[in-house]
Amino acid sequence: MVDRMWRDGPRLLAERADPRDGEDKRRSAPRRARSVTVNLKESPLAWLKARDMVSDRQFEAGERLRHDWERAGLGPRVTMAWDAAPLARGRRGAPGALDPTLAQLSVKRRFEAATIAVGAGLNDILWRVVCAGEGLSHAEKALHWPARAGKLVLGLALDRLADFYRIA
């Protein structure tokens, strides 16, 4: 079974229990549990794009920000870096390439400039949905916003972000 899974590639779909299922407290008979299929590769921004809630321009801007966030190493790390030790004689990599640390710092500066360009009131929802991968409803609850306000504010933030990245 394990050999077949790795030969066919990693699974993109997983089944999870619906948190609303289980025993109903108002009834004496327990309900039968259901499961839902979740695409583990789909981000909240991709979900919005698939339902035409964000434009191509907004989606591209969000993906660039997420790429910068990941390349800058700003996400939580669950293990140590297992990179090879540097050679004593010289640098690794192609000639003229940036040192990995300098490249990471450059991307971090671009990420910070992008969030500053978006603005203080809009970068909260942008970071939560695009970088942290929270759904809109969870982000709205965490920010104490009314329901369905996040989609409008996220659209404004993505438009400003697209202007920063100069996406036509």
pLDDT at 73 (0 to 100): 83
What is residue 3's predicted lDDT score, i.e. its pLDDT? 45
Q: Per-residue b/e over 85-110, b at no fewer than 16 CB within 10 Å?
A: eeeeeeeeeeeeeeeeeeeeeebbeb
Q: What pLDDT, on a 0 to 100 scale, did the predictor assign at position 144?
A: 94
Is this prediction's pTM over 0.85? no
Question: CA–CA distance from 41 to each of 90, 98, 100, 133, 138 (Å)?
Answer: 39, 30, 27, 11, 19
Q: Give the pLDDT confidence score for residue 35 in this predicted structure.
A: 73
Instruction: Give the angle 109-143-69 at the CA atoms, nearest 5°.
Output: 25
According to the 3-state scheme, what is the secondary structure of 74-126?
Answer: CCCCCCCCCCCCCCCCCCCCCCCCCCHHHHHHHHHHHHHHHHHHHCCCCHHHH
Amino acid (1-letter code) at residue 43: S
Q: How far apart are CA 46 and CA 159, in angstroms?
A: 16
Give the residue carrying structure tokens 């809009």: 122
| pLDDT value of position 5 | 44
Per-residue pLDDT of the chain (168 residues; tens, 9 = 90+): 444 444 455 555 555 555 555 545 555 556 677 776 767 567 899 999 999 999 999 999 999 999 999 888 887 767 776 666 665 555 555 556 667 678 888 999 999 999 999 999 899 999 999 999 999 999 999 999 998 899 999 999 999 999 999 998
As a whole number of angstroms, the distance between CA 64 and CA 67 comes to 5
Question: 4 exposed, middle or buried (CB, 10 Å; 0-12, 13-18, 19+)?
Answer: exposed
